[in-house]
A and B are shown apart, each in its own frame.
Chain A
Amino acid sequence: MTALLSIRDLTVTYRRDGSEVAALKHVSLDVAAGERFAIIGESGSGKSTLALAIAGLLPQSTRIGGRIDWLGRDHAPLGGRDIGFVFQDPSASLDPVMAIGEQIAEVAHTHLGLTWSQSYAKAKSLLERVRLPEPDAALRAYPHQLSGGQKQRVAIAAAIAAGPKLLIADEATSALDTIVQAEIVALIRHLVAEDGMTLLFVSHDIALAAELAERIAVFRHGQLVELGATAQIIASPGDAYTRALLDAHLGLDAEPLLQQAGASG
């Protein structure tokens, strides 16, 4: 297994109004090239901060300690070209007054040096790849004309337009209902396999992550709690917090919390 990136002793501190908040504390981990890696945690765990730090998207005022090393490349990765990022809220990451085709074509034009007509052809083929119905019409559509799931498909198309090595999905399915969520997860799995991308899947939902990822890192209060192969984390978690997360999951087969006797029927 060749490593794609290596994180050593990463500490991230946000500064706001004179006070400092440590969002990540001494995190070290490696991500292998081509693997599907999940980062799991509840709110305040630092999981999104880690994703932003890897993508180089932290605000200027943030203090960053430790190292993030990209192995096997001679230059620092460029957001948009080497890293695709899909955010939780697709409405926030898409420009509301720009046609969808243009938004995707712009990525291809900027990072791949294609002409505009080549870029639009690329945009159309990307919309086909993310299985948006009627890609020709969609090129000219605006974000508000699409449903939440369709917008997330467009955001994914824009994220992979420049052929990145790493795709980061930060709670990319949390705002969607279960059915659309399952479709988007299937789409991400398919695209990552087809292009040989590395996937960083950030989520609060350990069951969802377990369906997609080969390895899982569990975060809590800015610290890495546990890291391991999915099957091992799920079947025999080493940390009490991981076990608590698994126990808190309410699956279809979970024990009912309800005492049926409480019903008056």
Chain B
Amino acid sequence: MSSPLLAVSGLTRRYRGGDKTIAAVDDVSFHIEPGETLALAGPSGSGKSTIARLLLRLIEPDAGHIEFEGGDFLSLNGTALRARRARLQMVFQDPLAAFNPRASVARVIDDPLRIHGIASRKERPRRIAALLERVGLSADLAARAIHEVSGGQRQRIAIARAIATNPSLIVLDEAVSALDVSVRRQILQLLLDLQREERIAYLFISHDLGVISAIAHRVVILDAGRVAESGDARAVIGAPQSAIGKALVAAAPKLNRTSTQGPADRQ
């Protein structure tokens, strides 16, 4: 087997809270293979989003290594880091907050194409239209302002922006949590289609085990900044071993569609 796409080892990030330091991420290790979906699950405060920000170099770790596409990702700086970012993208939870409120749809997709020199100025409008169609949107949307399109459309635009630079890994930080259930399913389907066709790997961060069991290959369950357990997604969710894994499974709302019984304590 070749080396993994992403290998994280001993990742640690501490925060000063008053006079004591708290480890938001504490000695976390995991790896992602090309074309694979790894889910990070855990309650709020378990360090999921901090890991996302560490991977994207939005914040720096106190300890640990990140190896991405065979190179030391943490040693990159300046121009080299910015160029490398083309291969490692991110989609945020709130698609409205993730875009400049003054931007148009065309501009948010144009930016990565321009910055990474992917297409000439003349060619870019056609590329933008193609990317919009790629994520299931009409190319006419390009002229609209970001705040004029719906939440589901905005998240598709965020995905179009993320795939514009042909990345090998996209970090999805609660990317479907804010969406309506019907829209959520379509976005998940889109992500899976993209993965199948372009062999993109995902780091899928979510607190929703239902979504994770539907789309992830493997899962890492975090608790208080540490890895509680990890393994095949459906195996772990089907029979969790850690206390936090059991609590997450127990707390997930369950829809019993065959039973004629109502809520347990119905009078």
The answer to whether A and B touch in the complex, with CB atoms under 8 Å apart, is yes
A-B contact count (CB 8 A): 140
**Chain A hits for B165, CB < 8 A:** none
Closest chain A CB from B207 CB (angstroms): 4
A198 CB–B CB distance under 8 Å: no
Asked if residues A207 and B254 are in contact (CB atoms below 8 Å), the reply is yes
Complex Cα spacing A205 to B179, Å? 11
Closest chain B CB from A61 CB (angstroms): 22
Interface residues in A142-168 by Cβ distance below 8 A to B read 147-148
**Chain B hits for A246, CB < 8 A:** 255, 257
Asked if residues B255 and A179 are in contact (CB atoms below 8 Å), the reply is no
Asked if residues B213 and A265 are in contact (CB atoms below 8 Å), the reply is no
Q: How many residues of A contact B (CB 8 A)?
A: 50
Indicate the member of A43, A147, A258, A260 with the most B CB atoms within 10 Å.
A258
Asked if residues B181 and A256 are in contact (CB atoms below 8 Å), the reply is no
* Contact with A254, one of B210, B251, B260 (Cβ below 8 angstroms): B210
**Chain B hits for A43, CB < 8 A:** 151, 180
Instruction: State which of A13-21, A112-120, A230-238 sits at the interface with chain B.
Output: A230-238
With A177-B43, A262-B195, A263-B36 known to touch, is A235 a contact of B254 (CB < 8 Å)? no
Asked if residues A212 and B181 are in contact (CB atoms below 8 Å), the reply is no
Interface residues in B219-267 by Cβ distance below 8 A to A read 234, 237-238, 247-263, 265-266
Asked if residues B253 and A231 are in contact (CB atoms below 8 Å), the reply is no
Complex Cα spacing A235 to B36, Å? 35
Interface residues on B, range: 35 or more
With A258-B37, A264-B33 known to touch, is A231 a contact of B210 (CB < 8 Å)? no
A6 CB–B CB distance under 8 Å: no
Q: Which residue of B lies closest to A45 (CB)?
A: B180
Interface residues in B180-195 by Cβ distance below 8 A to A read 180-185, 188-189, 192, 195
Asked if residues B251 and A213 are in contact (CB atoms below 8 Å), the reply is no
B22 CB–A CB distance under 8 Å: no
Listed A/B pairs (25) with beta-carbon separation below 8 Å: A42-B181, A43-B180, A177-B43, A178-B43, A179-B43, A183-B251, A189-B265, A211-B254, A214-B263, A231-B261, A234-B255, A249-B181, A249-B210, A249-B255, A250-B185, A250-B213, A251-B254, A251-B255, A252-B249, A254-B213, A256-B213, A258-B214, A262-B192, A262-B196, A264-B35
B interface list, Cβ under 8 A from A: 33-37, 43-45, 151, 180-185, 188-189, 192, 195-196, 199, 207-211, 213-217, 234, 237-238, 247-263, 265-266
The 10 closest A-B pairs by CB, nearest first: A182-B251, A207-B253, A42-B180, A250-B210, A207-B255, A248-B181, A208-B253, A177-B207, A231-B262, A177-B44
